[in-house]
C-alpha cells in the first residue's frame, strides 16, 4: 500500500538538493566552525553562505540572522531575550501575544507570567484573525513586545502582520514585534522590510530542510539577552557548537523556495488540490464544517470538523488506509484536551474533538486527494454508527 502523507505542517521530507548539500558537512568537512585551522574555516564559510541565503530570502542583513536548534528555541530566545534585556535596564516589561499561538510561544509567556511579568493575550474572531482593536487596547506604556504568528499551524489562518506592525510603529515608545513564521515561509512573502517586523522565527524541517535547526531574525540594534549560555557562537546569542550540516541544509532549503515564480506556481497547484479536498469533504459528507478563514488561509491547509465523531478515531481509521493526517487535540496528562485554537474560534468541545487537519505538500497529487475522498465518507459513516456522541 502506497502511503498518503497529508501532514506537511508537522514536518516535511528532505529535498534531494538539501540532502546532497548536507552530506559533505556530515562526513568529509566535519570541522568545528570555531576552529582556526582549515577544517574550521571551511565549516565557518559554509555557515556564512547559509546565513547569506537566509538573509536574501528575508531581505535583511546577514548579521541579523541567528541560527538556533529549532523554531521552538528561536521563539524562546525572542521572548525571553527581549524580556530579560528590558529587566536588565531596571524596567518592568509588559508583553502581548495571541490566544492561538503555537505552544513554543504560549509556554514562554506562561512561564514569564509565573515569574511575575505582565502578560496579556489578544483574542481572535471566529475565523482565527487577531482582533486588532483589542490588541491596540491591550498596549500599555510598558509594553515591550508583541508576538503574533504569521500563519496558524492548525487552521492555516493568515494574520495581518504588516497592519499590526504599522499600528505598533505609531506608538511613541518602541514596541518590538515578533512573528512566528514557521508555517508561512513556504507560501507567503517573508520580506521583513515589507512585513515591518523586528523579530521573525522559522524552522528547517517545515521547508523540506533538516530537523533540529531554526532561525531567529533580529533586526539590527535590538538588544537580546541570550538564554543559552556557554560558547560565544552566533555572536554570543546562542552558545553551542553549530550544527554545520543542519545549517547548510536549511540554507539550501530556503534557496530552493526563494524563487518568486516557482513559489506562485507551487502555491497555485497546492491551493487547487486543497480546494478539491475541502469542497469534496464538505459536499460529500454531511455534518461537516470548515475551521478557519476560507480566503485568508494557507494554500496547503484544510481543517474540518466532523460532527458526531471523534477526531482520534478518524485519524486511526485513515491511518489503517495508509492516509496520515493530524487532529487538533493534544494528549496532555492522560486527558485529551481539545485544541486551544479551535476553542478560541468558538467551537464546542465536541466539535473541536471531531476535527481533522489535512496539510498538503509540494508532492501531493490529485490521485492522493481522490483516494482520501473515496475512503473518508465510508469511514465517517461507520464511525458515526458506533459513536457515543450521537
Ligand X SMILES: Cc1ncc(COP(=O)(O)O)c(C=O)c1O
Distance (Å, rounded) from C-alpha 334 to C-alpha 22? 39
Q: Which of 71, 253, 270, 342 binds ligand X (CB under 6 A)?
A: 71
Report if residue 183 touches ligand X, rule: CB under 6 A: yes
**Is residue 331 flagged as an active site residue?**
yes
Report if residue 7 touches ligand X, rule: CB under 6 A: no
Distance (Å, rounded) from C-alpha 372 to C-alpha 364? 12
- H or E element, residue 108: helix 103-114
Q: What Rg do the C-alpha atoms of the chain give, in angstroms?
A: 22
Encoded one letter per residue, x for contact with ligand X by CB under 6 A and - for no contact, window 210-249 reads ----x-----------------------------------
Spatial CA neighbour of 305 closest among 285, 281, 288, 283: 288
C-beta closer to ligand X: residue 185 or 376: 185
Report if residue 197 touches ligand X, rule: CB under 6 A: no
Spatial CA neighbour of 129 closest among 278, 292, 349: 292
Residues 100-159 interacting with ligand X (rule: CB under 6 A): 102, 104, 149, 153
Spatial CA neighbour of 102 closest among 135, 66, 78, 137: 78
Q: What angle do CA 174, 176, 182 make, to 5 degrees?
A: 165
Q: Which of 186, 203, 243, 364 binds ligand X (CB under 6 A)?
A: 203
Report if residue 178 touches ligand X, rule: CB under 6 A: no
How many residues sit close enough to ligand X to count as binding (CB under 6 A)? 12
Report if residue 70 touches ligand X, rule: CB under 6 A: yes
Q: Of 68, 122, 190, 331, which residue is the catalytic one?
A: 331
Dig out the grid coordinates for 135 from the structure: 490588541
Q: Which of 53, 72, 252, 288 binds ligand X (CB under 6 A)?
A: 72
- 308 backbone φψ class: left, alpha, beta (φ>0; ψ -120 to 50): left
Provide the minimum distance between the beta carbon of 82 and ligand X in the complex, in angstroms, as a whole number. Answer: 17
Residues that bind ligand X (CB under 6 A): 70-72, 102, 104, 149, 153, 180, 182-183, 203, 214
**Residues tagged active-site:** 331
Amino acid at each position: 500500500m502506497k502511503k498518503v502523507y497529508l501532514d506537511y505542517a508537522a514536518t516535511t521530507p528532505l529535498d534531494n538538493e538539501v540532502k546532497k548539500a548536507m552530506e559533505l558537512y556530515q562526513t568529509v568537512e566535519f570541522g568545528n566552525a570555531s576552529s582556526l585551522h582549515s577544517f574550521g574555516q571551511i565549516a565557518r564559510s559554509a555557515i556564512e553562505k547559509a546565513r547569506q541565503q537566509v538573509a536574501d530570502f528575508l531581505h535583511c542583513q546577514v548579521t541579523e540572522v541567528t541560527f538556533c536548534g529549532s523554531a521552538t528555541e528561536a521563539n524562546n530566545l525572542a521572548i525571553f531575550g527581549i524580556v530579560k534585556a528590558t529587566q536588565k535596564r531596571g524596567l518592568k516589561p509588559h508583553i502581548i501575544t495571541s490566544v492561538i499561538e503555537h505552544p513554543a510561544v504560549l509556554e514562554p509567556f506562561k512561564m514569564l507570567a509565573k515569574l511575575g511579568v505582565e502578560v496579556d493575550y489578544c483574542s481572535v474572531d471566529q475565523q482565527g484573525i487577531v482582533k486588532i482593536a483589542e490588541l491596540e487596547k491591550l498596549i500599555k506604556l510598558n509594553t515591550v513586545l508583541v508576538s503574533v504568528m504569521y500563519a496558524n499551524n492548525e487552521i492555516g489562518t493568515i494574520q495581518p502582520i504588516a497592519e499590526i506592525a504599522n499600528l505598533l510603529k505609531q506608538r511613541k515608545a518602541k514596541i518590538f514585534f515578533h512573528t512566528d513564521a514557521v508555517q508561512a515561509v513556504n507560501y507567503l512573502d517573508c520580506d521583513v522590510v515589507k512585513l515591518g517586523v523586528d523579530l521573525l522565527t522559522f524552522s528547517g524541517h517545515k521547508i523540506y530542510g533538516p530537523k533540529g535547526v531554526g532561525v531567529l531574525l533580529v533586526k539590527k540594534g535590538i538588544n537580546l539577552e541570550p538564554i543559552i549560555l556557554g560558547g560565544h557562537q552566533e555572536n554570543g546569542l546562542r552558545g553551542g557548537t553549530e550544527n554545520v550540516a543542519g545549517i547548510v541544509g536549511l540554507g539550501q532549503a530556503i534557496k530552493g523556495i526563494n524563487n518568486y515564480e516557482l513559489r506562485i506556481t507551487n502555491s497555485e497547484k497546492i491551493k487547487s488540490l486543497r480546494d478539491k479536498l475541502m469542497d469534496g469533504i464538505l459536499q460529500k459528507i454531511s455534518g461537516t464544517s470548515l475551521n478557519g478563514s476560507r480566503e485568508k488561509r494557507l494554500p496547503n491547509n484544510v481543517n474540518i470538523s466532523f460532527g458526531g465523531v471523534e477526531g482520534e478515531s478518524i485519524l486511526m481509521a485513515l491511518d489503517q488506509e495508509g492516509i496520515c493526517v493530524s487532529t487538533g487535540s493534544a494528549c496532555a496528562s492522560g486527558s485529551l484536551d481539545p485544541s486551544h485554537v479551535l476553542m478560541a474560534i468558538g467551537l464546542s468541545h465536541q466539535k473541536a474533538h471531531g476535527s481533522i487537519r489535512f496539510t498538503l505538500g509540494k508532492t501531493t497529487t490529485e490521485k492522493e486527494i481522490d483516494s482520501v475522498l473515496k475512503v473518508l465518507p465510508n469511514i465517517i459513516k461507520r464511525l458515526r454508527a458506533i459513536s457515543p456522541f450521537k
